[in-house]
Amino acid sequence: MQSPKASLIISVYNRFDFLQLVLAGLETQTEPDFEVIISDDGSNAAFVSHLAALIARSPLRIRHNWHADAGFRKNQILNVSIRSALGAQLIFLDGDCIPHPAFVAEHLAHGGLGRCLAGRRIDISDRLTRQLTPERVRQGILQNPATMLGQLVDFLARRTFHFMNGFYVVHPALRRYFNRKERGLLGANFSAMKADLEAINGFDERYTAPTFGEDSDIEFRLRLLGVKIIPLLNIAVTYHCHHKLLPRPEVSKALYEQVLRDKVAFTPYGLVKKVIPS
């Protein structure tokens, strides 16, 4: 079988309701040549069973990488997915972020060696999140002007956040204007070439809290390699489902600060484990 153009690596943990919506969004993509790798940091048996049934009937090419729940080990399972990915370009997406229909096409159009693409997301309201079903996502409810008007109302009431990030822009001049400033990488929506990620040895598996490891650290080390971070604001659009904010402890802050001081792109704690001389 011919390798796909891209591998979509979706990080998940126990929210099958959200994942169904994300996969429904992937069914609507204008660019169909991609595989989906579910990168599962220890979801429960019910999740695994529901996902197996969905994979059996889905038109998407889906694989499921899972390891047992032993705390926050997202970077470990992401590295498993990188190793197994068949696509040359790896697109990372969180399991609660529904992609716009042009999401994959835009990542592929702007990608390439030495380029890391940084997309953004709109944080949709609880009201809209509760209205979503896979079928409504397939029908384009999130791109409906009436839906966006409702999100504007919710934004003014402080129930929707980053409202402007929800607009997909096609005009070249507007794209340049919205992306005139440098932006950082979000682990929930970015892509890089597999070869570039292999060159820095993937994600550093020492990070055990959702704060630095899957975005700030990998961005810094990619930059050290010479990879450019290219913003795709209002180009690679995702819709982040509403949920209670999760705690973001800073237990890995000292580790990240050490990485900043060392300025070494290649981590010995990644895809391939390296022995460090004492």
SS3 track for 182-230: CCCCCCCEEEEEHHHHHHCCCCCCCCCCCCCHHHHHHHHHHHHHCCEEE
**Residue 42, both tokens:** 């220890």
- Say if residue 247's pLDDT is above 80: no
Mean of pLDDT values over 19-33: 98
As assigned by CATH, the class of the 6-262 domain is alpha beta
Instruction: Tell me the residue type at 140.
Output: G
Q: Give the pLDDT score at 275.
A: 60
Instruction: Tell me the residue type at 79.
Output: N
Mean of pLDDT values over 33-48: 98
Q: Give the pLDDT score at 63.
A: 98
Domain borders along the chain are: 6-262
Q: What is the pTM of this model?
A: 0.95
**What is the CB neighbour count within 10 angstroms for residue 115?**
17
Query: Pairing state of beta strands 228-231 and 115-118?
Result: parallel
Nearest in space to 240 (alpha carbons), one of 124, 104, 130:
124
- Say if residue 277's pLDDT is above 80: no
Q: Give the pLDDT score at 276.
A: 57
Mean of pLDDT values over 85-97: 98
- Say if residue 278's pLDDT is above 60: no
Number of DSSP helices (H) and strands (E) in the chain, helices first: 11, 10
| Candidate from 225-234, 238-247, 258-267 with smallest mean pLDDT | 238-247
> Coil, strand or helix: which one is 132?
coil
Mean of pLDDT values over 189-207: 97
Mean of pLDDT values over 250-277: 88
Q: Which residues pair with 239 in a beta bridge?
A: 98, 122
